[in-house]
Structure 1
Amino acid sequence: MTTVSAPHDGRRYEVLEGRLLITGAQPPAHHAAVVALMIRLKHACPADLLVAVNSLDYRPDLNTTLRPDLLICHRTDAGPHLLTAPPVLAVEVLSPTTRTTDVVLKRTVYEQHGIQSYWLLDPTTQELTILDLTPTGYTCQAVVQSEETFLITTPFPITLCPSALTR
């Protein structure tokens, strides 16, 4: 199998069922939310887990390569640039150009490949949607808005407030 590296041009390159998805550069609010959430997750993350920010490709099969904005995986599962075992958490920060892909397509793929938790953070509406995998698919555990706080227990305990992540 031959692998080709994606160019380092500020875009995100992903493959979904053999189709190339290219996401352009994201607005500053998107990056600020990713960094704020990464800092909070890294402080709460147990030593056996790894928080990765747009640096690991998740490749569940030969026709799919996804790169969530943030993911958490077992350290022992992470290669230098590639993850083949399902992460325990995938997070997408929504933007106008990625909303449909993140809410519909990626949700379906993450669910099919057994990712335990999937979070969607919307910096525009200051809303965090927390989905957990059940035997019948993803179930919404909470939709946390603006100044609300919520204690999340999976993949580890952490209290989050959307407005604090999106300022």
Structure 2
Amino acid sequence: MSLVEPIPTQPAVPWQPFGPLTRADLDRMPDDGHRYELIDGALLVTPAPAIRHQIIASNVNDILKRACPAELLVLFAPVDVVLATDTVLQPDLVVAAREDFGEQDLPVAPLLAVEVLSPSTRRFDLMVKFSRLEAAGCQAYWVVDPDTPSLIAWELQDGAFVQVAKVTGDEAAHLTSPYDVTVVPADLIS
């Protein structure tokens, strides 16, 4: 019998944070299907979206791509939008000037950010992302609620988001920022 007890092993930890996380820390997160975002150095982890969420986001993507001018680019998540070293968001869709994209991310506010609401992200999308994108100068922000179905769209005016459309079901939203496009919420859920 040994007089020395074995030392229990602890799982490996990639780093021991002592303060707010940064973009560099975010780059070390595993590629495991989760969405990793930073808000003021705090890590937000959400699971991969449900199939219904992805169908709706894909349909919005199709509508935006069909109308997109050549100098702009529409990208589907995951795309890091770097608003500060300690704030990195991943909207479901972004539209920005092609020249604004870096090799790995969008280092400026997009012209348009779109979120499809889900139970786990609803408050975050409507409050935190809304305010961070507004403060960063994002020109337009849309949220699609699959449960209604509905679309609410805001545009930046004098530094603040102003609601420019709220439609449900078969109603059409005719939007102009960042370019002319029409969205019918009922068409997004099929």
Q: Give the shorter-chain TM-score range.
A: over 0.9
Q: Write the letter of the residue equivalent to 1:149.
A: A
Map of 1:5-16 to 2, 5 A cutoff?
5-16=28-39
**Match status 1:70 vs 2:116:** no
Contact 1:30–1:93 at 8 Å: present in 2 too?
A: yes
Question: What TM-score do you get using the length of structure 2 for normalisation?
Answer: 0.84
The equivalent residue for 2:78 is 55
Contact 1:55–1:81 at 8 Å: present in 2 too?
A: no
**Match status 1:90 vs 2:113:** yes
Give CA deviations for 1:98-143 in whole Å, capped at 9, x if unaligned: 0000001110100110001000011111100000111151111011
State the distance in 2 between where 1:96 and 1:69 align.
15
In structure 2, stretches of 5+ residues that fail to align are 1-22
Map of 1:123-138 to 2, 5 A cutoff?
123-138=146-161
Q: Write the letter of the residue equivalent to 1:150.
A: A
State the distance in 2 between where 1:82 and 1:6 align.
15
**Distance 1:72-1:5 versus aligned 2 partners, 3 A rule:** farther
Higher relative contact order (CA 8 A, sep 6+): 1
Map of 1:1-167 to 2, 5 A cutoff?
2=24, 4-167=27-190
State the distance in 2 between where 1:40 and 1:5 align.
34
**Offset, 1:88:** 0.2
State the distance in 1 between where 2:146 and 2:30 align.
27
In structure 1, stretches of 5+ residues that fail to align are none
Q: Write the letter of the residue equivalent to 1:90.
A: A
**Offset, 1:151:** 1.2
Question: What TM-score do you get using the length of structure 1 for normalisation?
Answer: 0.95
Tell me which protein shows more strand as a share of its residues.
1
Contact 1:92–1:119 at 8 Å: present in 2 too?
A: yes
When Rg is computed on C-alpha atoms for both structures, the one with the higher figure is: 2
- The RMSD of aligned alpha carbons is 1.3
Would you say how many aligned residue pairs link Structure 1 and Structure 2?
A: 167
State the distance in 2 between where 1:81 and 1:124 align.
33
- 1:112 match: secondary structure: helix
